[in-house]
Amino acid sequence: MSKVIAIDGTFASGKGTLAKRLATYFGYAYLDTGKLYRAVGARALEAKANFDDTKTLAKLATIIKPKELDNPVLKSGAVGAAASKVAVHAEVRAALYNFQRNFAAHPGKGFMGAVLDGRDIGTIICPDADVKLYIDAKPEVRAERRYKELLSYGEDITLANVAADLKERDHRDQNRTEAPLKPAVNAHLLDTTNLSIDAAFERAKALAETILSQK
């Protein structure tokens, strides 16, 4: 049986970077599940779909291909906002459920485990994950991180707009009916507010190593 590390957390908390580094360190396959929703969001924007049209959005989710997850457009602010809107629909989440479960169970040849990061990995997708981490940071710190990231992509954006978008996204993620963002009961919390990425990684790695050594 492959090992599974589930990493959940708030937007721009650093969970994606930590997940990738942990996957590399342990030699596990990595899936950024947020990209699945971003891919659906990108398709919805391209099709000019109504974000309240559950049926259409769910249909778009069923045709997502793995290669789409490498599309640079998924990094944009507009697609990120769209992803948060499509993620509230139960039918969309159901359409992407098996993709994520299959990845965790069958990470691929040469991989002894999988690392998945998102909003509901430890609570819904992989409730029996070997390691569960929940990453968070203060809103103002996360807004600054996202602002710098978007500037690096060449987007014309203000810090105030990024902070407002982040506040809206947090509210939507944490209060949606389907799979709201929250720590799993047995998740280990990691606050990255005052941590460099290296320091955060060392703490996450130490936690994961300790837990995995006991399995």
Q: What is the pLDDT of residues 27-60, one digit of tens each?
A: 999 999 999 999 999 999 999 999 999 999 999 9
Structure confidence at residue 95 (pLDDT): 93
What confidence tier does 152 reach under pLDDT thresholds 50, 70, 90?
very high
Can you tell me the mean pLDDT for 88-109?
A: 93
Can you tell me the mean pLDDT for 86-108?
A: 93
Can you tell me the mean pLDDT for 143-158?
A: 94
CATH numeric code, 3-207: 3.40.50.300
pLDDT in tens, 182-215: 999 999 999 999 999 999 999 999 999 999 999 7
Strand partners, 132: 6
Q: At 72, phi and psi to the nearest 5?
A: -55, -25
Q: Is pLDDT of 1 > 70? A: no
Average per-residue pLDDT in the chain? 95
Structure confidence at residue 209 (pLDDT): 97
Strand partners, 8: 118, 134
Can you tell me the mean pLDDT for 106-111?
A: 93
The domain ranges of the chain are 3-207
Structure tokens at 202: 């060392």
Structure confidence at residue 215 (pLDDT): 78
Q: 86: exposed, middle or buried (C-beta count within 10 Å: 0-12, 13-18, 19+)? A: buried
Can you tell me the mean pLDDT for 150-168?
A: 94
Structure tokens at 111: 């991989």
Structure confidence at residue 200 (pLDDT): 97
Identify the three-state secondary structure at position 114: strand
Structure confidence at residue 147 (pLDDT): 96
Amino acid at 95: A
Residues of the chain with pLDDT > 70, as a percent, come to 100
Structure confidence at residue 7 (pLDDT): 98
Q: Is pLDDT of 132 > 90? A: yes
Strand partners, 131: 5
